Amino acid sequence: MSKFNKEDNTLFIQVKKINNVYIVNPKDALKSMYSKVHSMAINGVNIPCETGLDEAYQTSSKPVISLHILSTDTASYKNGSETISVEEYKRRRLALEAKATRDNYDDLCFDMVEDEVEYKRMVKDWKSMPSDKPIKVKVNIEVVYYKNESTIKYIKPVRLVSGDVSADKSDIYVYQPSVRSLVAEAAAKHGYKVVDSELDHSKVSIGEFSFADRNRSELGYAKISGHYLSDRYKSFASKNCVGTLDECMARYDGDVHIAEQIFINDKEYLQGKVEECEKTIKMIKGISE
């Protein structure tokens, strides 16, 4: 979260601390500002403004940020090759406005068409020129503490409604899984190929898995190795979990176990079919002998 006060050029930002490491993300820190960055340094190290603002930076000590932005204040006005000062522009414009009166809607009404045309041309043709003068920004940093950091893409730390993360809430996470992704990841782990099909068994061969509908993640019509998925997996639809990192990880591990069992059981099913065929072949050979 960041907040910029233009009146006194003060930027309030949050810096994440995980264990003993501070993480600064300039892009997030500067997103509340609309001015162009002139220069930025973190703990004395210059950050390249053209390419480095999208990167995240780590430091073992609390960061000290030096920031300068380019002023957007008008320094002059320009019309073609002619340049005049802000004071001269105001003088000319006020002189033209003095030739008009204002109606009930506060719009200017000119008695002479020539004066109205001259006024409109001035407003249109004279362009304000920013000063591009570097201005130092005061940066106030709030450290956000995280006791742990999840490396699972489905588990993220919870933020309060205000956008803050206080120290006593730093261990609260949300687990937001995708059944389709979990099953696809399990399929790849166990050597299965995820394919698209339209409820046609012939298109799902041994060693392949299909959700049947590429736009849905439910397993109601899913197929594996040419047959429908077992009924016990059709209701698998993992729900969100909010709690400690351990609680979210436990839910995630449980979902991964269910997803992997789909393919483990199919392998066992196929192995059983192979063994049945081998027994049948041996029995037929024994009869024929």
Write the Ramachandran bin of 263: left for phi over 0, alpha for psi from -120 to 50, otherwise beta: alpha
Same domain, 139 and 37: yes
* 58-75 pLDDT, tens digit each: 888 888 988 988 887 888
Contact 131, 71 (CB under 8 A): yes
Q: What is the pLDDT of residues 210-225, one digit of tens each?
A: 876 665 556 767 878 8
Q: What percent of the chain has pLDDT over 70?
A: 84
* Mean pLDDT for the stretch of residues 85-114: 92
The yes-or-no verdict on residue 4 having pLDDT over 70 is yes
CA-atom Rg of the chain in angstroms: 33
Structure-model confidence comparison of residues 2 and 78, the more confident one: 78
* 244: enclosing H helix or E strand: strand 241-244
Per the domain annotation, does 8 fall within a domain? yes
> Distance between CA atoms of 169 and 147, rounded to whole angstroms?
10
Answer yes or no: do 192 and 63 share one domain: no
Same domain, 78 and 203: no
Map residue 77 onto helix, strand or coil: strand
Name the residue range of residue 113's domain: 74-129
Residue 165 has pLDDT above 50, yes or no: no
Residues 227 and 245 in one domain: yes
Residues 6+ apart with CB under 8 A from 168: none
Domain membership of residue 161 (yes or no) is no
d(CA 243, CA 130): 50
Q: Which two tokens stand for residue 187?
A: 């399929």
Residue 235 lies in a domain: yes
Residue 271 in any domain: the answer is yes
The reported pLDDT for the residue numbered 169 is: 43
Same domain as 89, residue 8? no
49 lies in a domain?
yes
Q: What is the pLDDT of residue 87?
A: 94
Asked if the structure places residue 229 within a domain, the reply is yes
How are beta strands 45-46 and 74-79 bridged, if at all? unpaired
* Whether residue 218 sits in one domain with residue 114: no
Could you tell me which residue, 164 or 107, shows the higher pLDDT? Answer: 107
Question: In this structure, are 229 and 208 located in the same domain?
Answer: yes
CA dist 25 → 1, 67, 146, 255 (Å): 11, 14, 16, 32
Residues 43 and 139 placed together within one structural domain of the fold: yes
Residues 86 and 109 in one domain: yes
Q: How far apart are CA 255 and CA 150, in angstroms?
A: 16
Same-domain check for residues 97 and 138: no
Could you count the other beta carbons within 10 Å of the beta carbon of residue 63? 21
Per-residue pLDDT for 146 more than 70? no
Produce one character per residue of 166-182: b if its CB has 16 or more CB atoms within 10 Å, e if not: eeeebbbbebebebeeb
Say whether 38 sits in a helix, a strand or coil.
strand
**Which pLDDT belongs to residue 198?**
57
Check whether residue 194 and residue 248 sit in a common domain. Answer: yes
Q: What are phi and psi of 15, to 5 degrees?
A: -120, 130
Q: What is the SS3 assignment for 3? A: strand
- Our CA angle for 233, 237, 239, nearest 5°, is 145
Identify whether 157 is part of a domain: no
Are 170 and 236 contacting, i.e. CB atoms less than 8 angstroms apart? no
- Per-residue pLDDT reduced to its tens digit, 182-210: 888 998 999 988 887 655 555 677 888 88
In this structure, the answer to whether residues 140 and 67 fall within a common structural domain is yes
Give the sign of the dihedral formed by CA 184, CA 185, CA 189, CA 190. Answer: negative
* Mean pLDDT of all residues in 224-238: 76
Among 90-94, 242-246, 262-266, name the most confident range: 90-94
91: buried, middle or exposed (CB in 10 Å: 19+, 13-18, 0-12)? exposed
> Based on the structure, what is the number of domains in the chain?
3
Looking up tokens 């040419």, which residue turns up?
226
Report the chain's mean pLDDT, rounded to a whole number: 80
pLDDT score of 259 more than 50: yes
Listed in sequence order, the residues at least 6 apart from 126 whose beta carbon sits closer than 8 Å to its beta carbon are 77, 78, 79, 84, 89
Residue 234 has pLDDT above 50, yes or no: yes
Q: Which of 51-60, 75-84, 252-261, 265-274 has the lowest mean pLDDT?
A: 51-60
Within-domain flag for 283: no
Lowest mean pLDDT among 5-14, 170-179, 184-193: 170-179
Q: What are the tens digits of pLDDT across the range 130-140?
A: 887 888 888 88
